[in-house]
Structure 1
Amino acid sequence: MQSTAIPSTVTPPEVVRARVAVALLFIANGMGFASWVSRIPAVRAPLGLSEGELGSALLCMAIGGLIAFGPTGHGVQRWGARRVTLWVSLAYGALLVLPTLAPNGWTLGLALALFGAANGAMDVAMNALAVEVEQRVGRPIMSSLHGLWSAGGLAGALLGGWLAHQSVWPGWHLAGVGVAAIGAVLWARHWLGGHIGEVHAAEEEAPRWARPEAALAGLGAIIFAAFLIEGAMADWSAVYLNGALGTTQAEATLGYSVFALAMMAMRFAGDRLVLHWGAVPMLRTLNALAGVGLAAALVSGSLAVTLPAFALTGLAIGTVAPLVFSAAAQRSRRGAGQGIAAMATLGYSGFLIGPPVIGWLAQATSLQVALGVLVLLAGVIAALAEHLAPAVAAAPAVSVDEAPAQRL
């Protein structure tokens, strides 16, 4: 994939439109996913599913996503990021309502596998497309796009909570969000013109299933560790506050809330920080501080120390996914789609593996000891941060007599 310097003082209109179009896709994906998550209890209730049956159905969604990563990367390399992104995004919007129509547990699992595959495919494709738009813009935008995904998720969760309070059937709710997502895709289609998202020749033939390249092992370890931390925080932060620290259930929700809000804020600020601070020192410093903060929180057992430590952890890993995806897309010998697919596979594997591993360790020792693994993982990210250096160095060059591109 070749970088293109912009020989103008103003970002070309087609690049501006492409950036807005990709932003719409990230928002639509985040809002759709959070809308589904917010209505899980309403979908579960009429089916009478136990915790184990619901967990099995939800696992099908994760498996569907993992299966879709590799073929999507292959498709991006063969047909281009623009075409693949638009098709899988339409499928995502159409399938969003499907889980609400399931009459029993096993059909719910099948519906979630299909929706999970569409979600995973859209994740890979739109990130590959975003990397190309980022190169056209000529400065980092990946972090802010992931921030928009988080903002879309927050909006979807709030909307889902309000509609649940109004006793709106989840089928109508998710069908409406799905139609809105399809509308966003059709709008984005007209704004993704020119050569953005076209097919690019790779140095190596792209395999049909994504597998990490040896040269990207460091990036893979970073995203695996970061997603493992995120999965553990999502599933165990409230349990830790309620159990080990003795907070109320309402207070326990603050654990993940401060983590998620800090991560979203970091994604919106991340592009500017990377531009002025650099990806390597930023990631190294924040994860070193997060490791120290988590260690202090686990030792002290104080809520006043724990909540800031959780927020610092959100700041530390907030930009990992956009930075690693961008670096892998630029450095993969098999093409951007395959590079992102391989990193997504490793990242989501960590997200899935993290919570049960923490649970097993907690059962053998204690939850405080088990969460100490997160301290070690933050240290791993800090130690391996230098693997992002080539991606930073590969940013498009602008000649001395060229003024910086106007901000969107």
Structure 2
Amino acid sequence: MPTLNKIRSALAGATGHGGRSMAAPHRSDLRRFRYALTALFALDGFLFAGWVVRIPAVKAQTGASASTLGLALLGVSAGAVATMMVTGRLCARFGNQPVLLACGFLLPLSVALPPLTGSALALGLVLLVFGAAYGGMNVALNSTAVELITALRRPVMPGFHAAFSLGGMVGAGLGGLLAGQLTATRHLLLLTAAGLVVAALAARPLLRFQLPGARRPGGEGPDGTPGTAGPPRPAGRSRRPVAVLGLIALCTAYGEGALADWSALHLTDDLGASAALAASGYSVFAGAMTLGRLSGTTLVERLGPGKVLIGGGVLGCCGMLLGSLAPSVWLVLGGFVLTGLGLANVFPIAIGRAGDLAGPSGVAAASTFGYGGILLGPVAIGFLADWFSLRSALLTVALLAAFASVTAAATRKRVLPEG
């Protein structure tokens, strides 16, 4: 009997208190890790939208002209793009979670800076800081998400991007409500406080749990040997597929940037919609994109990422043809809905697959392409609208969505996993 008791004690010590399997704590930690990461995705969208809705107030405060403001706003883009590739290397060197949390604290701190400036030059300089934090946050978020997806063995990347979209919708809505109640300084300081609280709450579950098979600081595998976790990721062989995925991300992000800036003008100038109705143009697009991303995991599991990419590009193309050429406001809004549903999962799938192929550096490279599309879209639409018409300019969104679909189909066997 004493021998039997010793065996029982040994088994209890190996499996946890009372003989309970360690799988339960592992699943619990993994679940907390996923919740914390989702919260940071939502925070990313929430803070960015909160800043965007206060741009008019900051413009008035700095006394900047429209053209000068446009140059100052390039600080966000320049800071983001400049830091994306650096962030990929930092994630490989120090690990994803520490870099993510550093950006998670820096982003809410930097969002409070713009209303404290008194000139367009000062605004541009602080927006470089905000853009750097925003770009770094996005690379670190997606790199961490790629490793979590590997641990979960489920394609949940669209769900994380849905959290980003929901955070953006809440941030924009709250900003609209507070715009008449608080100054831009007080509003953005409030966002800073909320962001720091979220980052602090997310820190513990992100740092205390090591994802199974995750890359460790210094590029070590999970067994402590040099290299990367999981299968080898030779940079030379993965560079071309990552570039293809980045191009696909660019083509669809172009449409998101274009609709954000030009959908309301298309509805008012080309179709005579009221200002209130025109304001709903981007809202229905963003809402459709959010719904599409919420269903994205199920779609990828059932159809495979290749079919979702190809079908999404086709649907986005058809929706934007309707949105550009339809003669009535309601048909145009319907086209925007189809466009949002079609483009919703293309960007997250492309970024996630780039991370599978090349780790944080792949995420950084594809993200740089993708965010380049968001920057390129509004500018290109503006020039094309001057040369031709806004309707014609918006057709480029449909053209690039079709190009993304064709590219995904042509490279499916080499770039995308079978599904």
Q: What is the TM-score with the length of structure 1 in the denominator?
A: 0.87
Q: Does 1:345 align with 2:371?
A: no
The residue type paired with residue 148 of structure 1 is: A
Question: 1:266-305 to 2 correspondence within 5 Å?
Answer: 266-305=292-331
CA distance in 2, matches of 1:297, 1:163: 32
- The corresponding residue for 2:417 is 393
Q: Does 1:373 align with 2:396?
A: yes
Pick from 113, 129, 132 the counterpart of residue 128 of structure 2: 113
Secondary structure of the corresponding residue to residue 246 of structure 1: coil
Secondary structure of the corresponding residue to residue 400 of structure 2: helix
| Residues 219, 388 of structure 1: 8 Å contact kept | no
- The corresponding residue for 2:153 is 138
Question: 1:23-172 to 2 correspondence within 5 Å?
Answer: 23-166=38-181, 168-172=182-186
- Offset, 1:385: 2.5
| Residues 323, 388 of structure 1: 8 Å contact kept | no
Secondary structure of the corresponding residue to residue 379 of structure 1: helix
Larger Rg: 2
Aligned CA-pair RMSD = 2.3
| Residues 76, 130 of structure 2: 8 Å contact kept | yes
- Matched-pair identity in %: 35
| Residues 312, 345 of structure 2: 8 Å contact kept | no
The answer to which of 229-238 and 300-309 deviates more is 300-309
Question: 1:158-307 to 2 correspondence within 5 Å?
Answer: 158-166=173-181, 168-192=182-206, 193-196=208-211, 198-199=216-217, 200=219, 201-202=227-228, 213-307=239-333
| Residues 266, 315 of structure 1: 8 Å contact kept | yes
- Offset, 1:215: 2.5
The residue type paired with residue 155 of structure 1 is: V
- Offset, 1:217: 2.7
- Offset, 1:108: 0.8
1:11/1:319 Cα in 2 relative to 1: closer, same or farther (>3 Å)? Answer: farther
The answer to which of 94-103 and 190-199 deviates more is 190-199
The residue type paired with residue 158 of structure 1 is: G
Q: Does 1:355 align with 2:378?
A: yes
Deviations 1:103-145 (A, max 9, x none): 2111111111111101110110111111111111221221111
Bigger RCO of structures 1 and 2 (CA < 8 A, at least 6 apart): 1
CA distance in 2, matches of 1:388, 1:73: 25
The answer to which of 283-292 and 368-377 deviates more is 283-292
How many aligned residue pairs are there?
A: 381
| Residues 309, 349 of structure 2: 8 Å contact kept | no
1:379/1:204 Cα in 2 relative to 1: closer, same or farther (>3 Å)? Answer: closer
Deviations 1:14-70 (A, max 9, x none): 111110110111111111111111211222222221111111111111111111101
- The corresponding residue for 2:13 is none
The residue type paired with residue 234 of structure 1 is: A
| Residues 281, 333 of structure 2: 8 Å contact kept | yes
The residue type paired with residue 159 of structure 1 is: L
| Residues 327, 388 of structure 1: 8 Å contact kept | no
- The corresponding residue for 1:404 is none
Q: Which protein has the bigger helix share?
A: 2
CA distance in 2, matches of 1:136, 1:389: 24
CA distance in 2, matches of 1:92, 1:388: 36
- Offset, 1:170: 1.9
CA distance in 2, matches of 1:220, 1:62: 17
Secondary structure of the corresponding residue to residue 213 of structure 1: helix
- The corresponding residue for 2:35 is 20
1:54/1:77 Cα in 2 relative to 1: closer, same or farther (>3 Å)? Answer: same
CA distance in 2, matches of 1:278, 1:158: 34
The residue type paired with residue 133 of structure 1 is: L
Deviations 1:220-244 (A, max 9, x none): 2210101111111111111111111
CA distance in 1, matches of 2:183, 2:59: 12
1:123/1:394 Cα in 2 relative to 1: closer, same or farther (>3 Å)? Answer: farther
Deviations 1:348-378 (A, max 9, x none): 1111111121222222222222222122112
| Residues 161, 348 of structure 2: 8 Å contact kept | yes
Structure 1 unpaired stretches of 5+: 1-6, 396-408
The residue type paired with residue 119 of structure 2 is: N
- Offset, 1:81: 0.2
| Residues 41, 160 of structure 2: 8 Å contact kept | yes
The residue type paired with residue 95 of structure 1 is: S
CA distance in 1, matches of 2:415, 2:43: 28
CA distance in 1, matches of 2:158, 2:319: 24
Structure 2 unpaired stretches of 5+: 1-21, 220-226
Deviations 1:135-166 (A, max 9, x none): 11221221111111111111111221122121
Q: Does 1:321 align with 2:347?
A: yes
CA distance in 2, matches of 1:389, 1:15: 32
Q: What is the TM-score with the length of structure 2 in the denominator?
A: 0.85
Secondary structure of the corresponding residue to residue 34 of structure 1: helix
Secondary structure of the corresponding residue to residue 179 of structure 2: helix
CA distance in 1, matches of 2:412, 2:362: 14
The answer to which of 197-206 and 80-89 deviates more is 197-206
1:156/1:78 Cα in 2 relative to 1: closer, same or farther (>3 Å)? Answer: same
